[in-house]
Amino acid sequence: RLGSLALVGLLLASCAGKAPVVADYEVVPIPLEIKTVQEASFVMKDGTTIYYTVGNEKMRRNAEFLASYVESQTGIRLNVKEGGEGQKGILLQLGLEKENPEAYSLEVKQGQVVITAPTEAGVFYGIQTLRKSIGIAEGGSIELPAVSITDEPRFGYRGMMLDVSRHFFSVDDVKCYIDMLALHNINRLHWHLSDDQGWRIEIKKYPKLTEIASQRKETVIGRNSGKYDGQPYGGFYTQEQAKEIIAYAAERYITVIPEIDLPGHMQAALTAYPELGCTGGPYEVWTQWGVSDNVLCAGNDKTIEFVKDVLAEIVEIFPSEYIHVGGDECPKTVWAKCPKCQARIKALGLKSDSKHTKEERLQSFVIHEAEAFLATKGRKMIGWDETLEGGLAPGATVMSWRGEGGGIEAAKQGHDVVMTPNTYLYFDYYQSKDTDTEPLAIGGYLPMERVYSYEPMPKALSPEEQKYIIGVQANLWTEYIPDLKQIQYMVLPRMAALCEVQWSQPDKKDYESFLKRVSRLVDIYQKNGWNYATHIFDVRL
């Protein structure tokens, strides 16, 4: 009986039009403070207007972003207008007094939704929270219960790396990656542009880098199996295309940090310019994964000139404060046998000690040259934790990837650190133990719960030293990631776990609550047509 009554109720409701979808504020990353203030709500429907600060182009763009997010998630069409003082509608405005430039407040009350922030970037994060609160819906209107949200990020540097050397991704693919970062409040794209298997950025002074070093003979299939499909593989970005990507990212408050990996991981470049290697070659753009012994010759003046020339063009293309110069995995076997390298070691008076070999000191010399050059251009150098070996360059920032050890040491020496330990944040690793049913990956095991559990402030550091931990980043190496679909599968939804580590306060974190919230975010992935791995919800530590 009750059942049939309920059915009649349902039928009546559907005849009268669908009940409005009610938004909640169950979002990722979890905000600092959510207060339910009063019994009121705001109804968003076709024709609701978003008002933005008069004459402010970035705020206009923010308003357009919100309108397009809402339309793609719900079909509701919002208007965008200048002004807004005293108006009913959605108001985007500056003027929140907060020290953190990325802070925002989101107020929903009778007749108004108001997002206020100290900067346009803060407004953008308020918009992200609003769109996630709405989720996906059909039915023509959405009811937003009254609320007062105050929020700001824990870390100023919130990064994701993308390796475009091992596999190449089109400008549109990279833009999609940027859209994915934006949804997760990530504000740095670390773009790994060169490696043994391909050079990907146009450098006008060295045209063979794109003519020759961007192409490899065969595409590697399988895990270092030595099987090739015999097809040529390659690609690169022109400087104009790179600028287009930088601008696209900047509109979404994301800074693109380029990486030119040196002096190791340079076999592709050596193929184009063999005189930059110790043996003179010939070399070939590498067709296997791993760490090549063929590195830049540190004893050759032309090498230093090459590094400076390349960086000179890179700083012209990329406005970022940081330029990444790699520094990882540089085998010293060739240098140990190279007369020029040994002569330079002698000339510079480099000595080995209990901690460092002469060759490590030589690597340090190359990195110092790069850092000094970048300093003349007003830029800061960032490098992988191997840059600690042989002595860190004075103003250098360290990206700690081999666990947290390098980061801890750098912070103790007073250098800024971005934590990106492979033990928690390598998204090329398997997300489930059942590797037979997973697409081929490089190895490892990194379920989402482990990503979520990461705490970037090492207890080994004093509160003073902890100030040097400026941020957190996850890395996507693409040896086994041939296309955008596979990129999405590997990063979604682990990126959601990452963003809560980067943004939210540790005392707010709770994996059970996160799992509920992330499933709503997954609805947005689906609506956007992004691939993702949902089975990893069930993978528990």
199 binds ligand TNX (CB under 6 A): no
Cβ distance 451 to 494 under 8 Å? yes
To ligand TNX, the closest distance from the beta carbon of 126 in angstroms equals 34
Q: State which of residues 42, 124, 468, 477 lies at the interface with ligand TNX (CB under 6 A).
A: 477
The answer to the question of residue 306 lying near ligand TNX (CB under 6 A) is no
SS3 label, residue 447: coil
Radius of gyration of the CA atoms of the chain, in A: 25
Of 136, 336, 442, 539, the one binding ligand TNX (CB under 6 A) is 442
Indicate which residue of 244, 251, 284, 329 is catalytic: 329
Q: At its nearest, how many Å lie between ligand TNX and the CB of residue 513?
A: 31
Give whichever of 190 and 415 is closer to ligand TNX, judged by the CB atom: 190
Q: How far is the CB of 425 from ligand TNX (least distance, A)?
A: 10
Beta carbon nearer to ligand TNX, 401 or 468: 401
Strands 141-145 and 21-22: parallel
Note if the bond before 263 is cis, omega within 30 degrees. yes
Q: In angstroms, rounded to a whole number, what is the distance separating the alpha carbons of residues 382 and 479? A: 23
Among residues 384 and 452, whose Cβ is nearest to ligand TNX? Answer: 384
DSSP category for residue 228: E
Site for ligand TNX in 7-66 (CB under 6 A): none
Helix (H) or strand (E) holding 173: helix 171-183
Q: Least distance in Å: CB of 328 to ligand TNX?
A: 3
Q: Of the two residues 147 and 425, which places its CB atom closer to ligand TNX in the complex? A: 425
Residue 487: CB atoms within 10 A of its CB come to: 24
Phi, psi of 513 (to 5 degrees): -65, -40
What mask, x for binding ligand TNX by CB under 6 A, covers residues 69 to 108?
Answer: ----------------------------------------
Backbone angles phi, psi at 493, to 5 degrees: -100, 20
Residue 29, token pair as written in the block: 């990353």
Residue 231, SS3 per DSSP: coil
515 touches ligand TNX by CB under 6 A: no
CA distance 357 to 330: 13
**DSSP string covering 357-377, please?**
-HHHHHHHHHHHHHHHHHHHT
Tell me the closest approach of the beta carbon of residue 110 to ligand TNX, in angstroms.
52
The nearer residue to ligand TNX, 291 or 375, going by C-beta atoms, is: 291
Window 419-438: contact mask with ligand TNX (x via CB under 6 A): -------x-x----------
H-state helical runs in 50-117:
57-74
Q: Is residue 191 within the footprint of ligand TNX (CB under 6 A)?
A: no
- Contacts of residue 230, defined as CB under 8 A and 6 or more positions apart, other chains included, come to 218
Output 29 or 407, the one with its CB closest to ligand TNX: 407
Nearer to ligand TNX, 125 or 384 (CB): 384
Q: Which helix (H) or strand (E) holds 126?
A: helix 120-134
Residue 152 vs 479, nearer CB to ligand TNX: 479
Among the listed residues 100, 206, 232, 221, the one whose alpha carbon sits nearest the alpha carbon of residue 155: 100
Pairing of strands 194-195, 198-199: antiparallel
Q: Give least dist CB 37 to ligand TNX, A.
A: 47
CB of 430 to ligand TNX, least distance (A): 11
Closer by beta carbon to ligand TNX, 117 or else 266? 266
Q: Report which of 426, 432, 390 is spatially closest to residue 539, judged by C-alpha positions.
A: 432
Query: How long a stretch of residues is the chain?
Result: 541
Which of 384, 424, 480, 489 touches ligand TNX (CB under 6 A)?
384
Determine whether 329 is an active site residue: yes
User: 169-199 burial, b for 16+ CB within 10 Å, e for fewer?
Assistant: beeebbbbbbebbbbbbbbbbbbbbbbbbbb
Is 329 a binding residue for ligand TNX by CB under 6 A? The answer is yes
Q: How far is the CB of 261 from ligand TNX (least distance, A)?
A: 8
- Adjacent-strand bridge partners of 233: 216
Q: Look at residues 141, 111, 113 and name the one whose alpha carbon lies nearest to residue 129.
A: 113
- Which of 28, 155, 122, 152 is CA-nearest to residue 418? 155
Q: Give the list of residues 6+ apart from residue 381 with CB closer than 8 angstroms, or none.
A: 322, 323, 324, 325, 367, 370, 371, 374, 375, 393, 395, 396, 397
Nearer to ligand TNX, 50 or 295 (CB): 295
Examine residue 293 and tell whether it contacts ligand TNX (CB under 6 A): no
- Is residue 328 involved in binding ligand TNX (CB under 6 A)? yes
Smallest separation (angstroms) from ligand TNX to the CB of 426: 5
By CB under 6 A, how many residues form the interface with ligand TNX?
9
**CA 475 to chain centroid:** 7
CB of 442 to ligand TNX, least distance (A): 5
For residue 64, the tally of other CB atoms under 10 A from its CB is 15
Task: List the catalytic residues.
Answer: 329
Residues that bind ligand TNX (CB under 6 A): 328-329, 384, 401, 426, 428, 442, 477, 479
